[in-house]
Amino acid sequence: MLTQAPEVPGVAAQRVPLVELRNIHVAFGGVRAVAGVTLDLFPGEVVGVVGGNGAGKTTLMRTLSGARPPDSGQILVNGRPVTIGNPRDAKTFGIETIYQTLALADNLDAPANVFLGRELQTAATLDDSAMESAARKVIGRLNPNFKNFKTPVLRLSGGQRQAVAIARAIHFNARALIMDEPTAALGPAETAQVHDLIRQLKSEGIGIFLVSHDIHDVFDLSERISVMYHGRLVGTVSKNDVTTDEVLGMIILGKPPTKLTRQELAELHG
């Protein structure tokens, strides 16, 4: 029942994962936030990363985005071991992250945020016009109604801010995308938009780690689901092989479906 590879037509022949995390450990002081987790991600695939609060999902993803390098373990990109010591490293490997907090500089406008850390320049100066022009294109693709390109993003709505954060991740030809709770702060219409976007990115061959609390989102969008429990990986399952109840069991009880008893499953429904 535990799978190693996605069942996606077209990429089945391609056996090298886009990204592999092997035996990752992260500790904060004495607290083991991530303990020996191994995950992989193939092109054109969405892997849902789920778990309760404090399960270590975000911390695990931060090792891949360069925000908090792992204490031990190996990261491979296209089968080659790499060192990701900071966010810049991750970006050079085509790994982009949309953080739950969005990580926007609130006092800057949308184009400045899209290009933050990767500004376009003319010979000696920032090329603000070129950045605005590019930002208009990429944000317009996500949200055609977006008009406020000159106002600080502080004054934008939640959905608009989300669009800026997503635009920043997809503008630079990302190959792997980490989305941490991308719809947590959004209304139904905007959530649907993000879902459409994820499907579109998937069809373009981008691999996506989707971190979410919402089990239905994950079932809607993912091929495989990795469940974390108290810093450990409970298991990675193929969506078609499990029910939502079984995944809930993994999240809440920290046991793979094969070890779940009928009684435990029944108790989940209270």
Partner 1 sequence: MGAPVPNEANAEGGSARSLLTAVRSALTPAASVLRSLEIDTRMLGMLAALIVIWVAFNVLSGGTFLSARNLWNLSVQSASIAIMATGMVLIIVSRNIDLSVGSMLGFLGYTMAMFQAVWVPQSLGLGLEQPYTWVVTVVIGIVLGAAIGGLQGFVVAYGGVPSFIVTLGGLLVWRGLLFRYQQGQTIAPLDRTFQMLGGGTVGTNVGALGEWPSWILGAVLCLGIVGTLIASRRRKRRYGFPVRPMWAELLVGAVTCGVVLGTVWVANSYPLPPAVAEQYAQEHGIPTPPGGLFIPTGVAFPVVIMLVVTLVVTFLATRRRFGRYVYAIGGNPDAAALAGINVRRTIMLTFALMGSLAAVSAAVQTARLNAAVTSLGVQNELDVISAAVIGGTSFAGGIGTVPGAILGAVVMQSLRSGMVLLLVDSPTQDIVVGIVLVAAVGLDAVFRRRVS
Q: Which is nearer to partner 1, 85 or 187 (CB)?
A: 85
Q: Which is nearer to partner 1, 91 or 224 (CB)?
A: 91
Cross-strand bridge partners of residue 27 = 32
> Per CB under 8 A, which of residues 134..153 are in contact with partner 1?
152
Stretch in the footprint of partner 1 (CB under 8 A) among 13-21, 74-82, 102-110, 246-254: 102-110
Pairing relationship of beta strands 224-229 and 46-51 according to DSSP bridges: parallel
Q: Which of 4, 23, 129, 243 binds partner 1 (CB under 8 A)?
A: 129
Q: Which is nearer to partner 1, 35 or 134 (CB)?
A: 134
Q: Give the single-character DSSP code of 199.
A: H
CB of 133 to partner 1, least distance (A): 5
Cα first-last separation, the chain: 26
Residue 86 in contact with partner 1, rule: CB under 8 A: yes
Residue 68 in contact with partner 1, rule: CB under 8 A: no
Alpha carbons within 13 angstroms on the beta-carbon side of residue 261 total 3
The answer to whether the Cα torsion of 204, 207, 213, 215 is positive or negative is positive
Q: Which of 7, 74, 100, 119 binds partner 1 (CB under 8 A)?
A: 119
CB of 77 to partner 1, least distance (A): 17
> Per CB under 8 A, which of residues 152..191 are in contact with partner 1?
152, 155
Which alpha helices (DSSP H) does the chain contain, by range? 57-65, 87-92, 110-114, 128-142, 158-170, 188-203, 215-221, 244-253, 262-268
Q: Name, in order, each residue with C-beta under 8 angstroms of 5's C-beta and a sequence gap of 6 or more.
A: 12, 15, 42
CB of 214 to partner 1, least distance (A): 24
Compute CA distances 101 → 25, 137, 229, whole Å.
24, 24, 22
Q: Which of 112, 174, 197, 242 binds partner 1 (CB under 8 A)?
A: 112
Residue 130 in contact with partner 1, rule: CB under 8 A: yes
Here the tokens at position 108 are 């800057």
Q: Which of 104, 163, 177, 225 binds partner 1 (CB under 8 A)?
A: 104
d(CA 33, CA 36): 10
Q: Which of 15, 80, 118, 199 binds partner 1 (CB under 8 A)?
A: 118
Are residues 135 and 194 in contact, defined by beta-carbon separation less than 8 angstroms? no
Q: Give the single-character DSSP code of 241.
A: G
Residue 101 in contact with partner 1, rule: CB under 8 A: yes
CB of 65 to partner 1, least distance (A): 8
Q: Which is nearer to partner 1, 97 or 143 (CB)?
A: 97
The residue ranges that bind partner 1 (CB under 8 A) are 65, 67, 86-88, 91, 97, 99, 101-108, 112, 116-119, 121, 124-126, 129-130, 132-133, 152, 155
